[in-house]
Amino acid sequence: MSDIIREVDEELRRERLANIWKKYRGLIVFAIFLIVAGTAGWRGYEYYSQKQAEAASERYASAQKLAADAGKTDEAIAAFKALAADAPGAYRLLARFSEAAELGKKDAKAGAAAFDAIANDSSVEQLMREVASIRGASLVVDTADAAAMQKRLAPALADSSAFKHSAKELLALAHIRAGEQASAQKLLLELAFDPETPPGMRNRAQRLQSALFSNAPAAPEKK
Protein backbone atom coordinates (compact mmCIF):
# COMPACT_ATOMS: atom_id res chain seq x y z
CA MET A 1 0.00 0.00 0.00
CA SER A 2 2.81 2.44 0.84
CA ASP A 3 4.35 1.88 -2.60
CA ILE A 4 1.07 2.80 -4.26
CA ILE A 5 0.72 5.96 -2.17
CA ARG A 6 4.29 7.00 -3.00
CA GLU A 7 3.66 6.45 -6.72
CA VAL A 8 0.49 8.53 -6.52
CA ASP A 9 2.38 11.36 -4.74
CA GLU A 10 5.10 11.32 -7.38
CA GLU A 11 2.54 11.41 -10.12
CA LEU A 12 0.78 14.34 -8.50
CA ARG A 13 4.08 16.23 -8.18
CA ARG A 14 4.90 15.62 -11.84
CA GLU A 15 1.44 16.80 -12.78
CA ARG A 16 1.77 19.96 -10.70
CA LEU A 17 5.20 20.69 -12.19
CA ALA A 18 3.82 20.17 -15.67
CA ASN A 19 0.95 22.54 -14.98
CA ILE A 20 3.31 25.16 -13.54
CA TRP A 21 5.55 24.87 -16.58
CA LYS A 22 2.61 25.26 -18.98
CA LYS A 23 1.28 28.26 -17.06
CA TYR A 24 4.53 30.11 -16.31
CA ARG A 25 6.86 28.83 -19.01
CA GLY A 26 7.50 32.29 -20.45
CA LEU A 27 8.32 33.80 -17.06
CA ILE A 28 10.59 30.91 -16.11
CA VAL A 29 12.52 31.15 -19.38
CA PHE A 30 12.81 34.93 -18.95
CA ALA A 31 14.07 34.56 -15.35
CA ILE A 32 16.71 32.06 -16.47
CA PHE A 33 17.74 34.44 -19.23
CA LEU A 34 18.14 37.30 -16.74
CA ILE A 35 20.28 35.18 -14.43
CA VAL A 36 22.55 34.04 -17.26
CA ALA A 37 22.76 37.52 -18.77
CA GLY A 38 23.46 39.09 -15.38
CA THR A 39 26.26 36.66 -14.63
CA ALA A 40 27.79 37.18 -18.06
CA GLY A 41 27.47 40.94 -17.71
CA TRP A 42 29.19 40.95 -14.31
CA ARG A 43 32.03 38.80 -15.62
CA GLY A 44 32.36 41.16 -18.56
CA TYR A 45 32.43 44.18 -16.26
CA GLU A 46 35.13 42.57 -14.09
CA TYR A 47 37.23 41.88 -17.18
CA TYR A 48 36.71 45.43 -18.47
CA SER A 49 37.60 46.94 -15.07
CA GLN A 50 40.76 44.86 -14.86
CA LYS A 51 41.86 45.97 -18.31
CA GLN A 52 41.12 49.59 -17.47
CA ALA A 53 43.18 49.35 -14.28
CA GLU A 54 46.08 47.74 -16.13
CA ALA A 55 46.01 50.48 -18.77
CA ALA A 56 45.90 53.19 -16.08
CA SER A 57 48.84 51.57 -14.29
CA GLU A 58 50.91 51.66 -17.48
CA ARG A 59 49.96 55.27 -18.16
CA TYR A 60 50.85 56.27 -14.60
CA ALA A 61 54.23 54.55 -14.83
CA SER A 62 54.92 56.43 -18.08
CA ALA A 63 53.96 59.73 -16.44
CA GLN A 64 56.30 58.99 -13.53
CA LYS A 65 59.17 58.46 -15.97
CA LEU A 66 58.45 61.88 -17.44
CA ALA A 67 58.36 63.39 -13.94
CA ALA A 68 61.78 61.91 -13.18
CA ASP A 69 63.24 63.91 -16.07
CA ALA A 70 63.73 67.52 -14.97
CA GLY A 71 63.33 68.68 -18.56
CA LYS A 72 59.92 67.07 -19.04
CA THR A 73 57.91 68.56 -16.18
CA ASP A 74 55.30 70.05 -18.51
CA GLU A 75 54.84 66.71 -20.25
CA ALA A 76 54.49 64.98 -16.89
CA ILE A 77 51.88 67.52 -15.77
CA ALA A 78 49.88 66.93 -18.96
CA ALA A 79 50.09 63.15 -18.54
CA PHE A 80 48.96 63.26 -14.92
CA LYS A 81 46.16 65.69 -15.79
CA ALA A 82 44.86 63.35 -18.49
CA LEU A 83 44.91 60.46 -16.03
CA ALA A 84 43.09 62.51 -13.41
CA ALA A 85 40.36 63.19 -15.97
CA ASP A 86 39.56 59.64 -17.03
CA ALA A 87 41.50 57.06 -14.97
CA PRO A 88 39.51 54.53 -12.94
CA GLY A 89 39.35 54.38 -9.14
CA ALA A 90 42.41 55.18 -7.08
CA TYR A 91 44.53 56.11 -10.10
CA ARG A 92 42.47 59.26 -10.59
CA LEU A 93 43.27 60.57 -7.11
CA LEU A 94 46.87 59.41 -7.34
CA ALA A 95 47.22 61.33 -10.60
CA ARG A 96 45.76 64.47 -8.99
CA PHE A 97 48.35 64.33 -6.22
CA SER A 98 51.17 63.77 -8.71
CA GLU A 99 49.97 66.60 -10.95
CA ALA A 100 49.88 68.98 -7.98
CA ALA A 101 53.40 67.94 -6.95
CA GLU A 102 54.73 68.56 -10.46
CA LEU A 103 52.99 71.94 -10.62
CA GLY A 104 54.65 72.80 -7.32
CA LYS A 105 58.07 72.24 -8.87
CA LYS A 106 57.35 75.04 -11.36
CA ASP A 107 55.19 77.34 -9.27
CA ALA A 108 54.66 76.86 -5.53
CA LYS A 109 51.37 78.77 -5.55
CA ALA A 110 50.00 76.77 -8.47
CA GLY A 111 50.97 73.52 -6.78
CA ALA A 112 49.43 74.63 -3.49
CA ALA A 113 46.21 75.59 -5.29
CA ALA A 114 46.04 72.12 -6.86
CA PHE A 115 46.50 70.50 -3.45
CA ASP A 116 43.86 72.86 -2.02
CA ALA A 117 41.41 71.65 -4.66
CA ILE A 118 41.89 68.10 -3.39
CA ALA A 119 41.67 69.17 0.25
CA ASN A 120 38.35 70.94 -0.43
CA ASP A 121 36.85 68.11 -2.50
CA SER A 122 34.16 66.44 -0.37
CA SER A 123 34.20 63.37 -2.62
CA VAL A 124 37.76 62.59 -1.49
CA GLU A 125 38.32 60.54 1.67
CA GLN A 126 38.99 62.74 4.71
CA LEU A 127 42.43 61.26 5.37
CA MET A 128 43.58 62.09 1.84
CA ARG A 129 42.12 65.59 2.11
CA GLU A 130 44.27 66.15 5.20
CA VAL A 131 47.35 64.88 3.34
CA ALA A 132 46.59 67.35 0.56
CA SER A 133 46.28 70.25 3.00
CA ILE A 134 49.70 69.40 4.47
CA ARG A 135 51.31 69.08 1.03
CA GLY A 136 49.84 72.38 -0.12
CA ALA A 137 50.86 74.23 3.03
CA SER A 138 54.43 72.94 2.81
CA LEU A 139 54.77 74.56 -0.63
CA VAL A 140 53.86 78.05 0.59
CA VAL A 141 55.09 78.04 4.18
CA ASP A 142 57.83 80.53 3.22
CA THR A 143 55.42 82.99 1.63
CA ALA A 144 51.91 82.66 3.08
CA ASP A 145 50.95 84.61 6.19
CA ALA A 146 50.00 82.80 9.39
CA ALA A 147 46.27 83.46 8.99
CA ALA A 148 46.28 81.92 5.51
CA MET A 149 48.25 78.93 6.80
CA GLN A 150 45.81 78.50 9.69
CA LYS A 151 42.90 78.37 7.24
CA ARG A 152 44.73 76.06 4.84
CA LEU A 153 45.72 73.64 7.61
CA ALA A 154 42.40 73.68 9.47
CA PRO A 155 41.39 70.07 8.60
CA ALA A 156 44.79 68.69 9.63
CA LEU A 157 44.96 70.74 12.85
CA ALA A 158 41.95 68.93 14.34
CA ASP A 159 42.75 66.78 17.37
CA SER A 160 41.41 63.73 15.53
CA SER A 161 43.72 64.25 12.54
CA ALA A 162 46.58 61.82 11.98
CA PHE A 163 48.63 64.77 10.69
CA LYS A 164 48.05 67.28 13.49
CA HIS A 165 51.74 67.30 14.47
CA SER A 166 52.90 68.11 10.95
CA ALA A 167 50.23 70.80 10.70
CA LYS A 168 51.33 72.38 13.99
CA GLU A 169 54.96 72.40 12.90
CA LEU A 170 54.13 74.15 9.61
CA LEU A 171 51.93 76.69 11.39
CA ALA A 172 54.67 77.34 13.95
CA LEU A 173 57.11 78.07 11.13
CA ALA A 174 54.63 80.53 9.61
CA HIS A 175 54.29 82.32 12.96
CA ILE A 176 58.09 82.46 13.34
CA ARG A 177 58.45 83.99 9.88
CA ALA A 178 55.77 86.56 10.76
CA GLY A 179 57.53 87.45 14.04
CA GLU A 180 54.62 86.14 16.11
CA GLN A 181 56.77 84.57 18.81
CA ALA A 182 54.06 83.82 21.39
CA SER A 183 51.94 81.85 18.92
CA ALA A 184 54.97 80.01 17.57
CA GLN A 185 56.25 79.16 21.04
CA LYS A 186 52.86 77.76 22.09
CA LEU A 187 52.80 75.35 19.15
CA LEU A 188 56.42 74.31 19.61
CA LEU A 189 55.81 73.57 23.29
CA GLU A 190 52.79 71.45 22.39
CA LEU A 191 54.97 69.47 20.00
CA ALA A 192 57.80 69.14 22.51
CA PHE A 193 55.60 67.92 25.35
CA ASP A 194 53.16 65.74 23.40
CA PRO A 195 54.25 62.09 23.83
CA GLU A 196 52.64 61.26 20.48
CA THR A 197 54.85 63.70 18.57
CA PRO A 198 57.21 61.80 16.24
CA PRO A 199 60.76 61.82 17.72
CA GLY A 200 62.34 63.72 14.83
CA MET A 201 59.68 66.42 14.98
CA ARG A 202 59.98 66.68 18.77
CA ASN A 203 63.74 67.20 18.44
CA ARG A 204 63.21 69.95 15.86
CA ALA A 205 60.71 71.67 18.15
CA GLN A 206 63.14 71.54 21.05
CA ARG A 207 65.98 72.92 18.92
CA LEU A 208 63.81 75.78 17.71
CA GLN A 209 62.81 76.60 21.28
CA SER A 210 66.48 76.67 22.31
CA ALA A 211 67.49 78.83 19.36
CA LEU A 212 64.57 81.28 19.37
CA PHE A 213 63.04 81.38 22.83
CA SER A 214 65.57 81.50 25.64
CA ASN A 215 62.76 81.65 28.22
CA ALA A 216 60.99 78.51 26.97
CA PRO A 217 60.66 75.71 29.53
CA ALA A 218 62.64 72.61 28.76
CA ALA A 219 60.85 69.51 27.57
CA PRO A 220 60.76 66.70 30.12
CA GLU A 221 63.46 64.10 29.85
CA LYS A 222 62.44 60.77 28.44
CA LYS A 223 62.52 57.96 30.98
pLDDT digits (tens, 9 = 90+) for 120-151: 999 999 889 999 999 999 999 988 889 999 98
Does residue 190 lie within any of the structural domains?
Answer: yes
Q: Does one domain contain both 88 and 37?
A: yes
Does residue 218 lie within any of the structural domains?
Answer: yes
- Per-residue pLDDT tens digits for 41-71: 656 545 546 666 677 778 888 888 888 888 8
The residue segments making up the domain with residue 4 are 1-106
Does residue 117 lie within any of the structural domains?
Answer: no
Does residue 126 lie within any of the structural domains?
Answer: no
Which pLDDT does position 59 carry in this prediction?
85
Does residue 130 lie within any of the structural domains?
Answer: no
pTM of the predicted protein model: 0.68
Q: Does one domain contain both 31 and 80?
A: yes
Q: Does one domain contain both 2 and 86?
A: yes
Q: Does one domain contain both 205 and 158?
A: yes
Q: Does one domain contain both 102 and 2?
A: yes
Does residue 7 lie within any of the structural domains?
Answer: yes
- Per-residue pLDDT tens digits for 170-210: 999 999 988 898 899 999 999 999 999 999 999 999 888 88
- Per-residue pLDDT tens digits for 155-169: 889 888 889 999 999
Which pLDDT does position 139 carry in this prediction?
93
Instruction: Output the DSSP codes for the chain.
Output: -HHHHHHHHHHHHHHHHHHHHHHHHHHHHHHHHHHHHHHHHHHHHHHHHHHHHHHHHHHHHHHHHHHHSGGGHHHHHHHHHHHHHH--HHHHHHHHHHHHHHHHHH-HHHHHHHHHHHHT-TTS-HHHHHHHHHHHHHHHTTTS-HHHHHHHHHHHHSTT-TTHHHHHHHHHHHHHHTT-HHHHHHHHHHHHH-TTS-HHHHHHHHHHHHHH-TTPPPPPPP-
Domain total of the chain: 2
Does residue 164 lie within any of the structural domains?
Answer: yes
